[in-house]
Amino acid sequence: MKYKAVLFDLDGTLLDYRAAQKASTGNTAGHFKLVNSPEVQNYESRGVPLPDSTEMKRVFIGFGVHTDPVKFLDTYFKRLSQHGILVAGAAKLLEELNGKVKLAVVSNGHSSVQLPRMQKAGIASYFPHLFFSRDMDIAKPDPEILRIAINTLGVTPEETLFIGDSTTSDQPAANSAGIDFFLFKGNYSDPELRKLLL
């Protein structure tokens, strides 16, 4: 394998984000749509717009959720932090890679939410390096978060593979940083991925 480091996105790549979201919103369709709105997603990854902002209140009303955004989002993220559901095949791949390459997670989220989910899923020990957008104030598709990751790991872009599921945040970040990217589509048995890694 030509890579010395493999970076993983977290949600939709290692952890089942949709299942965690559904559980955290009580499987309520309107609430699920709300937490996937651009505004809530931007708050999750970048911290804006603020929950008590006029913009966020307008979004809640638009989705028919007539509750205080501050309390709702606080409860939602606390619940989300309790759901660490692994994507099938992720644990096996991490075990195969462990000790062979440097591993890191680069995630648009906050450590207070993401780290407990990784611990519950039993994968936190594989990753000595974690890069969370809300902690660093840099979110994908900004490539700077990937550049910081590879500098911390002591590898070059050419020695790094980034695995993610998003063509709007993960892929453009990798492309801009000059890092090889694999678009994960839910299958860790994908022959193309196996060829790259093992």
What does the pLDDT average to over 32-49? 97
- Domain span at 37: 18-80
Q: At what angle do helices 69-80 and 38-46 cross, to 10 degrees?
A: 60
Same-domain check for residues 22 and 64? yes
Domain CATH code at residue 152: 3.40.50.1000
Same-domain check for residues 95 and 192? yes
Q: Does position 184 have pLDDT exceeding 80, yes or no? A: yes
Of the candidates 184, 134, 195, 135, the one whose C-alpha atom is nearest the C-alpha of residue 7 is: 184
Same-domain check for residues 57 and 91? no
pLDDT above 90 covers a percentage of the chain that reads: 97
Same-domain check for residues 63 and 111? no
Q: Does position 1 have pLDDT exceeding 90, yes or no? A: no
Strand partners, 15: 11, 86
Domain boundary among 62, 80, 98: 80
* Residue 7 pLDDT class (50, 70, 90 cuts): very high
Same-domain check for residues 104 and 190? yes
Q: Does position 64 have pLDDT exceeding 90, yes or no? A: yes
Q: Does position 150 have pLDDT exceeding 80, yes or no? A: yes
Domain boundary among 46, 63, 80: 80
Q: Does position 22 have pLDDT exceeding 80, yes or no? A: yes
| DSSP characters over 52-113 | TSHHHHHHHHHTT--S-HHHHHHHHHHHHTT---BPTTHHHHHHHHBTTBEEEEEESS-HHH
Same-domain check for residues 96 and 146? yes
Strand partners, 104: 7, 129
Q: Does position 2 have pLDDT exceeding 90, yes or no? A: no
Could you give the C-alpha distances from 95 to 18, 163, 190, 192, 193, in angstroms and in order?
A: 24, 16, 17, 19, 15
Contact 135, 35 (CB under 8 A): no
Same-domain check for residues 27 and 50? yes
Same-domain check for residues 76 and 37? yes
Q: At what angle do helices 17-24 and 69-80 cross, to 10 degrees?
A: 130
Q: Does position 63 have pLDDT exceeding 90, yes or no? A: yes
Same-domain check for residues 45 and 129? no
What does the pLDDT average to over 82-101? 96
Same-domain check for residues 10 and 97? yes
Q: Does position 198 have pLDDT exceeding 80, yes or no? A: no
- Lowest average pLDDT, out of 56-65, 126-135, 173-182, 188-197, goes to 188-197
Quote the pLDDT of residue 21: 97
Same-domain check for residues 62 and 99? no
Any residues with CB less than 8 A from the CB of 149 and at least 6 apart, and which? 7, 104, 106, 129, 131
Domain boundary among 51, 80, 109: 80
Same-domain check for residues 140 and 46? no
Q: What is the mean pLDDT of the chain?
A: 96
Quote the pLDDT of residue 46: 95
Any residues with CB less than 8 A from the CB of 58 and at least 6 apart, and which? none
- State how far the Cα of 193 lies from the Cα of 90, in Å rounded to an integer: 12
Of the candidates 166, 168, 174, 170, the one whose C-alpha atom is nearest the C-alpha of residue 150 is: 174
Q: Does position 27 have pLDDT exceeding 90, yes or no? A: no
- Lowest average pLDDT, out of 145-154, 158-167, 187-196, goes to 187-196
Give the chain's domain count.
2
